[in-house]
Amino acid sequence: MTSPRVQQLIDGMTWAEKLGQLQIVFRPRPEDAAALVRAGIGSTFWPRSAAATNALQREAVEHTRLGIPLLIGLDVIHGQRTIAPVPLAMAATFDAPLVEDLARLAATEARSGGVTWTFSPMIDVSRDPRWGRVVEGFGEDVHVNAVLGAAMVRGYQGTDLAAADSIAATAKHFVAYGQPEGGRDYNAVDVSTHRLRNVYLEPFRAAVDAGAAAVMASFNTVSGIPMHANRHLLTDVLKSEWGFGGIVVGDADGVRNLLPHGVAEDMVQAVRMAYEAGLDVEMGGAPSDVAAALTPDVLDGARIDDAVARVLALKESLGLFENPYVDEDAELVAPTAAARELVRGAAARAAVLLKNDGTLPLSAPARVLLTGPYADSTDHLGAWTQSFAAPSGSIAGELSARWPATEVQVVPGVSFLGDGSDDIAAAVAAARIVDAIVICVGEPSALSGEAASRSDLRLPGRQADLIRAIAGCGIPFVVVLANGRPLVVADWIDEAPAVLEVWHGGTEAPAAIVDVLTGERDPAGRLPMSFPRSVGQVPVYYAHENTGRPATTGGALELEHADVGLHGPDNVQDKYTSKYLDAELGPEFDFGHGSGYATFTHGEPRLTVAELKLERVHAGEAVTLSLDVTNTSGRRGDEVIQLFIEDLVASVAPPVRRLVAFERRTFEPGARAVIEFSVGQEQLGFWVTDGVGASFRVERGTFHLHIGGALKHTQFVELRVI
Ligand code: BGC
């Protein structure tokens, strides 16, 4: 419903004023910004302070005919000033309320400076770690992306967009951007409607349900049609079927990119295609000569009015017509103590204990060596932070302060990418005379993020050589791994007694890493993406469909050729299954993998009833699955309970497992609690496509509900839908 104010504005607007509202200019030069605003642009990127923002708003409000305030956009991805862990690390917390709080903090800081619109959360299900942008999202799982994406939307937007600490969220990138061919950024996506519906669209449906103000079109094609020109997905699915009433914004120059995509001859055609497809705001700024050619004969007037109404409605919900300005004196330019504590806790909760033979946690030794390029690096903020973000310190600085009586030696030994200064011998010499060693390795922030795909997922440079050399010294050591994507660790993992994955943890990362190393906090994060054994295995993810010939064993590289086929003896049959001859089955570390310092036992899972009638499921009936969990250790710690569904027989080949619920819970030493999950239509159903439309359906049959603290350590109960 268009409000009276919005309708009145539209009725009085010229064609040029309408088109101006449909653009967000991508970082104009400061000296050009005021003129652009006077010329009528509707939105721009944040000019980097509350004062500069107010100055631009004043241009819009006082020096344009209609006085319409601006939307001020910015990529506030995991913090504005106080930087939280990267989104992939947020996913590793498996803690939706925490993720909501982190978005709230980001919104509070950003809005205080005049930002009203963020281009976050990224909810592209990503199963290819070669793609550098996996760092910006929540990993490989549909449910995790849906739950955490919705949590971020709620965190950014709060209950009232007009509040002084709320900003409009953008769910991006719509859609299937996470499946680029070869893992190369911006690449083509060829995806079935079945997978689109069941995998890539689901998190967006959840974000729309959570009230996301905007959705961003993605750079990729879907089945040959670039998303900026994809009417079926932008209009038929997103706007008509889902009833999305917000803004569809283009990605940076995404409309212009229709030319190299080879679907538009010139910008006029590109702009027309985009608006006809359902785009509402073009990001980048079409040049003025194009604007002159975009006459009412070229663009459909009703469509343009609809797009303008959406933009003005958002400005209205943000309260900008009443109050376009921010209080310059109240701008938050540095983290508060509470903000630091929040992101520190989050960085510790994101840490994943990949393996531990008891070496961790460490107690203060007499002498410790910190080695590896992350030992004294301050590159902890992650790929999407800007120059005005609060910096982090280093692990070396933090550990020295925490253990004043310990002699802390810092000998990096190698650089990140490998250069002439590498001196592994120096690190080994230092290692021989200490009591404990912390090897701090990883990928610097610049190796993940946009346009940062890699074809080799091992630690770059000579970092693996360093780990192997230190392992030869016979001194207890732990490896701290800081990175923005799953890595291939096969070339050193067996030699490391304990490995802690800490990602890029943000402003307070070093403090959080030391908290976890020393056992002051528990590292109970879980992997949001599988870690492959080798690049050749990618994509490798847990929720794959079964084949007609599922593999039972892998890694049997034999020269003998058997021409017996499926009907031969058992050992020959085993050859003809879906696997690599030169790799073990499955990833190095599964999705959901991780432990903590505390230990837990689980009772038998129980269901309230073992059978449900389909009609009752449709009517909303659900069963409750409960599990007793006990902390058997003398430490306080967290368990992350994960519930996976296995649909034994369905009309479409189902994934072997599908996460439908999770909960992270803290347990005092010896404490016991019952975890309960409800299983009904939403958990049991899936999308069935028939070439014309799609419907969400629960089918009769048997389901195994697998529950536990990790994919490989689950128990199941059977549920029948009759
Ligand atoms: C990215 C978007 C981002 C936009 C604006 C693009 O290159 O793909 O995710 O929001 O730039 O900075």
User: How many angstroms separate the CA atoms of 660 and 682, rounded?
Assistant: 9
Fold of 337-517: Rossmann fold (3.40.50)
Q: Is the pLDDT of residue 564 over 80?
A: no
Positions marked active-site: 251
Q: Is the pLDDT of residue 692 over 90?
A: no
DSSP-derived 3-state class of residue 607: strand
Q: Is the pLDDT of residue 568 over 80?
A: no
User: Are 48 and 306 within 8 A, CB to CB?
Assistant: no
The residues that bridge with 577 in the sheet, in sequence order, are: none
- The residue ranking higher by pLDDT, 567 or 391, is 391
User: How many angstroms separate the CA atoms of 441 and 468, rounded?
Assistant: 12
Predicted structure pTM score:
0.97
β-strands 247-249, 225-226: how paired? unpaired
The alpha carbon of 469 and the centre of ligand 1 are apart by a number of angstroms equal to 41
User: How many angstroms separate the CA atoms of 215 and 279, rounded?
Assistant: 10
Atom 2 in ligand 1: residue holding the nearest Cα: 251
β-strands 714-721, 701-708: how paired? antiparallel
Q: Is the CB of 628 under 6 A from ligand 1?
A: no
The alpha carbon of 177 and the centre of ligand 1 are apart by a number of angstroms equal to 12
| pLDDT, mean over the chain | 95
Q: Identify the architecture of domain 73-313 in CATH.
A: Alpha-Beta Barrel (3.20)
pLDDT value at residue 291 = 80
The alpha carbon of 250 and the centre of ligand 1 are apart by a number of angstroms equal to 9
The alpha carbon of 227 and the centre of ligand 1 are apart by a number of angstroms equal to 14
Cα distances from 61 to residues 67, 70, 165, 318, 494, in angstroms, run: 4, 8, 22, 15, 63
Q: 401 CB contacts (<8 Å, ≥6 apart)?
A: none
User: How many angstroms separate the CA atoms of 601 and 593, rounded?
Assistant: 16
Give me the helices (H) in 475-620, please: 509-517, 570-575, 614-618
pLDDT tens, residue by residue, 628-678: 999 999 999 999 999 999 999 999 999 999 999 999 999 999 999 999 999
Q: Counting atoms of ligand 1 from 1, which one is nearest the CA of 170?
A: 10
Q: Is the pLDDT of residue 54 over 60?
A: yes
User: How many angstroms separate the CA atoms of 686 and 645, rounded?
Assistant: 11
Q: Is the CB of 177 under 6 A from ligand 1?
A: no
Tracing tokens 């017996």 back to the chain, one arrives at 564
DSSP per-residue letters across 418-459: --TT--HHHHHHHHTT-SEEEEEEE--GGGSSTT---S--SP
Tell the CATH superfamily of the 600-721 domain.
Answer: Immunoglobulins (2.60.40.10)
Atom 11 in ligand 1: residue holding the nearest Cα: 252
Q: 308 CB contacts (<8 Å, ≥6 apart)?
A: 10, 13, 18, 21, 22
Q: Is the CB of 45 under 6 A from ligand 1?
A: no
Atom 5 in ligand 1: residue holding the nearest Cα: 252
The alpha carbon of 72 and the centre of ligand 1 are apart by a number of angstroms equal to 15
Four-residue CA torsion sign, 31, 34, 40, 42? positive
| Whether residue 175 has a cis bond before it, omega within 30° of 0 | yes
The token pair at 625 is 């699955």
Task: Single out the residue of 664, 13, 637 nearest to residue 312, CA to CA.
Answer: 13
- The residue ranking higher by pLDDT, 567 or 718, is 718
pLDDT value at residue 286 = 66
pLDDT tens, residue by residue, 484-500: 999 999 999 999 999 99
pLDDT value at residue 31 = 87
The token pair at 582 is 């030169």
Average pLDDT over residues 341-348: 98
Q: Is the CB of 75 under 6 A from ligand 1?
A: yes
Q: Is the CB of 174 under 6 A from ligand 1?
A: no
Q: Is the pLDDT of residue 292 over 90?
A: no
Q: Is the CB of 251 under 6 A from ligand 1?
A: yes
Confidence of residue 569 (pLDDT cuts 50, 70, 90): low
pLDDT tens, residue by residue, 115-159: 999 999 999 999 999 999 999 999 999 999 999 999 999 999 999
Domain boundaries, the chain: 21-72, 73-313, 337-517, 546-586, 600-721
Atom 4 in ligand 1: residue holding the nearest Cα: 252
Q: 693 CB contacts (<8 Å, ≥6 apart)?
A: none
Q: Is the pLDDT of residue 563 over 70?
A: no
User: Are 215 and 249 within 8 A, CB to CB?
Assistant: yes
At 377, the amino acid letter reads: S
Cα distances from 390 to residues 180, 437, 484, in angstroms, run: 33, 29, 19
Q: Is the CB of 133 under 6 A from ligand 1?
A: no
> Which H or E run includes 355?
strand 352-356
Taking each helix axis from N to C terminus, what angle separates 337-350 and 96-112, rounded to the nearest 10 degrees? 140
Average pLDDT over residues 273-298: 87
User: Are 600 and 550 within 8 A, CB to CB?
Assistant: no
pLDDT value at residue 561 = 57
User: How many angstroms separate the CA atoms of 370 and 412, rounded?
Assistant: 7
Tracing tokens 């910096």 back to the chain, one arrives at 391
User: Are 678 and 609 within 8 A, CB to CB?
Assistant: no
Residue 667 half-sphere exposure, CB side, CA atoms within 13 Å? 29
At 417, the amino acid letter reads: L
362-371, 573-582, 620-629: which range is least confident on average?
573-582
User: Are 424 and 469 within 8 A, CB to CB?
Assistant: yes
Q: Is the pLDDT of residue 289 over 90?
A: no
Burial class of residue 334 (count of CB atoms within 10 Å of its CB; 0-12, 13-18, 19+): exposed
pLDDT value at residue 293 = 84
Taking each helix axis from N to C terminus, what angle separates 202-209 and 142-157, rounded to the nearest 10 degrees? 30
Q: Is the CB of 119 under 6 A from ligand 1?
A: yes
Give me the helices (H) in 432-586, please: 463-471, 509-517, 570-575
